[in-house]
Structure 1
Amino acid sequence: MHHRAIRSIGCLYHKIDGSFHVFPEVIMSSKVYFWNMRASIKAPFNNRIRKILKTTKATEHIASGDLTALKVHFGELGNTTFLRPIWLKPIISYYKKAGAKPFLTDTSTLYTGERGNAPDHQMCAALNGFDPLLLGAPVIIADGLRGESEVIVNSEPHKNSHFKQTYIASDIARADHLVAISHFKGHGLAGYGGALKNIGMGCASKRGKMQQHCTSGPKGNVHKCVGCGLCMELCQHGALSLDSNKKIQVDDQLCVGCGACLLACKTGALQVNWETGIQEFLEKMMEYALAVLKTKKSPSLFINFAINITPECDCLSWSDAPICPDLGIFASADPVALDQACIDMADQAPIIPSAMHKLPENYRVGECKFTAIHDKVPKDMGLDYAEKIGLGSRKYQLIYI
């Protein structure tokens, strides 16, 4: 294990040829561990993963029988670049050997798809290869059957904070430990998807996701409404009604944003109201990430697989070509430092020719690939705010394993 680099905000001291420079003036930093995916007969994948986990002291706080949530993204059906299930097997084995009871978990989506409720989501996970009998850990959808099983976590108000209460998926909140295992890639709304999005958005219940995405209740589309009333039966707050033409109406004053009606509607007459500005969305997501970590007594671990770095999220039912070569696997107890390290190394990496059309003609290596592709996203992609509210540090020390 070698100390390989130190980053100051806005600067990366890591060269593409593999050489690093350490700048002594940077004194406050978090440790980010990195493996470049090189393997050999004496050091195969499983051994390398175990070394990462041992180096990060992943099981230091594990007691026998501790329920440990391995937060992953099972991928939408049709997507081909989500985390390979086989990559998770040595992580599961490592925690089991330490006495933990790990389970693979994710939460329901707001939008209509293959992961909007627990039965569909579990079938999607199985079809994408997340087989409990093969991997040695069950698949549990953490926010229950319809995305309504949640724990209310009081926020720590600060200047300009968005929430007093947050709604976290119950089985993640109640787990003894959290390990976020993320596929690092691009994202249309957040710019990129890594550890912070995996816990901030990915650990929220349906109501929590609505809080982050929307400033009001769902939108009603009268052209698609058939007046069946199923959504009204499910709404416990009287926010839905039918007008004189038997078309759906939404009362934003009564709506609490639980999202239950979105699942009830079979015709698409109720849709997510994507009103929130991107900066506000990113700030809300970071506050949710902080709330998730508040549910844990011991430090959480974050692992980013910077492999198949596609321009869009695994929520899509297809996968575009990666925008740069595979980088490797990063791990840290600091999700801000971890994501920053991945972003920096991706920015310094060469562009894969098949992804040239995704980037502007004037793009130069070293500039942020994700904000170049998703040009409406703020340059810091929410990391400044994450650092400001105490989620972690954008300064990091990269340690090569």
Structure 2
Amino acid sequence: MASKVFFTNARTKPGVSLLDKMDALCEASDLKGMLSKGDFAAIKLHVGEPGNLSFVAPQLVRRVVEKVKRTGAAPFLTDTNTLYSGQRNDAVKHHLSASLHGFNIETAGAPFIVGDGLTGSDYVSVPIEGGQLKEAKIASSIYNATALISIAHFKGHISAGIGGSLKNLGMGCASRAGKLVQHSDVRPVVKQENCLGCGKCIQHCPASAISFTDEKKAQIDPSACIGCGDCLAMCPVRTIRNKWAASTSALQRKMAEYAAGAVYGKAGKVLFFNVILNVSPQCDCFANNDVPIVPDIGIMASKDPVAIDFAAAEKVLAAEGAPGSAVGHMCCGADKFRELTPDSDWKVQLSHAVKMGLGTMDYEIEEILMV
């Protein structure tokens, strides 16, 4: 049976804003019907690395928060600490980043709680069946919540190809130890003939696994590498790449299994939003955001994380590449995500999530026409 995906386009007019459209999606997807008085409702989002401006606007999040409050449930905003260096790898810096971007009570209407605690070590081991992994290390605040609402910014991703609801669940709900498990097969290598010797990868490596050769070319010690991918993001000439496409496929399969762990014990209490606006070529973990790869498309809501991600991806593929963007030369129907990350087949995460019982790639769009 096809899963229902509710969709509203990005167009607005006087009297109909994107905030109004978010309200309509909450109603259509029956947000209030899945919540009960006294529920702790985790609203899982990404606050954005300082310097990045493509994250979901906190004003959109506030509309969901307000709907949750009307049911008598207690909403809180949450994300987990990062594996790589930056401004979100401990709870103190993470809170400061969240507040800087408006993810606080004043702007978004609910408190922000770092799901896996001060240092990323606060988690619960959740059993997983049907996959490679036997357990998932899920952030304790997310595990202990009785309901989970994912609000994902849909965009490209340097390792997974796409970042949507499944990535927001699988990677985003994992503790730092859980993220390390998922990245354990990622082993980047340096194409030294193109290396500039700028040292950015060395500066940002959290494991001190990168050094210079005598010729001042970067080299990675595979025994020290933790597979976080920070160096891939930092290299200005993209001369650091994953060694095998198989490594990104393994990451995606583990990510899908962790997504199953994130919704463990929450049957009937999970809802997903994909915000397909400012579709950046890479994730909001970067301290910058490049030109959106397609024009703004809209927002989706669904109870099925697989269906909503596949529907969002197909909307992006159907759009023409935005002029001046990294895929500005690509026409309607072309796979922009494979162009951006040729070593990563983004459909792996979807097919494995289907195997894990998370949903289906068979979807039916119900459009909410307001403009």
TM bracket (short chain): 0.7 to 0.9
Q: Counterparts of 1:250 and 1:188 in 2: how far apart (Å)?
A: 19
Deviation for aligned residue 1:105: 0.4
Aligned partner of 1:359 among 327, 335, 349? 327
Aligned partner of 1:147: which letter?
G
User: In the alignment, is the contact (CA less than 8 A) between 1:213 and 1:274 conserved in 2?
Assistant: no
Does residue 1:369 correspond to 2:333, yes or no?
no
Question: Which residue is 1:105 aligned to?
Answer: 78
Question: Which residue is 1:79 aligned to?
Answer: 52
Question: Which residue is 1:47 aligned to?
Answer: 20
Question: Which residue is 2:122 aligned to?
Answer: 149
| Deviations 1:101-125 (CA, angstroms, capped at 9, x unpaired) | 1011000000111000001000011
| Deviations 1:63-86 (CA, angstroms, capped at 9, x unpaired) | 212110000000000001111111
Secondary structure class of the residue paired with 1:387? helix
Q: Which runs of structure 2 are paired with 1:335-350 in the superposition (5 Å)?
A: 335-350=305-320
Greater Rg over alpha carbons, structure: 1
Question: Which residue is 2:357 aligned to?
Answer: 390
| Deviations 1:298-322 (CA, angstroms, capped at 9, x unpaired) | 3310001000001011000001000
User: In the alignment, is the contact (CA less than 8 A) between 1:191 and 1:381 conserved in 2?
Assistant: no
- State the number of aligned residues: 326
User: In the alignment, is the contact (CA less than 8 A) between 2:293 and 2:328 conserved in 1?
Assistant: no
Question: Which residue is 2:31 aligned to?
Answer: 58
TM-score (norm 1): 0.76
Q: Counterparts of 1:74 and 1:222 in 2: how far apart (Å)?
A: 28
Question: Which residue is 1:400 aligned to?
Answer: 367
Q: Which runs of structure 2 are paired with 1:197-276 in the superposition (5 Å)?
A: 197-215=167-185, 221=209
Q: Counterparts of 1:360 and 1:352 in 2: how far apart (Å)?
A: 5
Does residue 1:320 correspond to 2:293, yes or no?
no
Cα gap change, 1:209/1:222 in structure 2, threshold over 3 Å: closer, same or farther? Answer: closer
Cα gap change, 1:165/1:333 in structure 2, threshold over 3 Å: closer, same or farther? Answer: same
The root-mean-square deviation of aligned C-alpha atoms, in Å, is 2.5
Question: Which residue is 2:257 aligned to?
Answer: 287
Aligned partner of 1:376: which letter?
D
Cα gap change, 1:41/1:251 in structure 2, threshold over 3 Å: closer, same or farther? Answer: closer
Q: Counterparts of 1:88 and 1:347 in 2: how far apart (Å)?
A: 26
Q: Counterparts of 1:321 and 1:104 in 2: how far apart (Å)?
A: 27
Q: Which moved more, 1:133-142 or 1:275-284?
A: 275-284
Q: Counterparts of 1:50 and 1:97 in 2: how far apart (Å)?
A: 13
User: In the alignment, is the contact (CA less than 8 A) between 1:143 and 1:170 conserved in 2?
Assistant: yes
Question: Which residues of structure 1 form unaligned runs of 5+?
Answer: 1-27, 225-248, 260-272
Q: Counterparts of 2:328 and 2:13 in 1: how far apart (Å)?
A: 38
Secondary structure class of the residue paired with 1:113? coil
User: In the alignment, is the contact (CA less than 8 A) between 1:69 and 1:102 conserved in 2?
Assistant: yes
Q: Which runs of structure 2 are paired with 1:28-43 in the superposition (5 Å)?
A: 28-43=1-16
Aligned partner of 1:196: which letter?
L
Aligned partner of 1:311 among 261, 278, 281? 281
Question: Which residues of structure 2 form unaligned runs of 5+?
Answer: 188-205, 213-220, 229-241
Question: Which residue is 2:198 aligned to?
Answer: none
Aligned partner of 2:93: which letter?
D
Q: Counterparts of 2:144 and 2:210 in 1: how far apart (Å)?
A: 40
Q: Counterparts of 2:210 and 2:348 in 1: how far apart (Å)?
A: 36
| Deviations 1:159-195 (CA, angstroms, capped at 9, x unpaired) | xx22111100000010010000000011111111100
Q: Counterparts of 2:267 and 2:53 in 1: how far apart (Å)?
A: 36
Question: Which residue is 2:201 aligned to?
Answer: none
Question: Which residue is 1:9 aligned to?
Answer: none
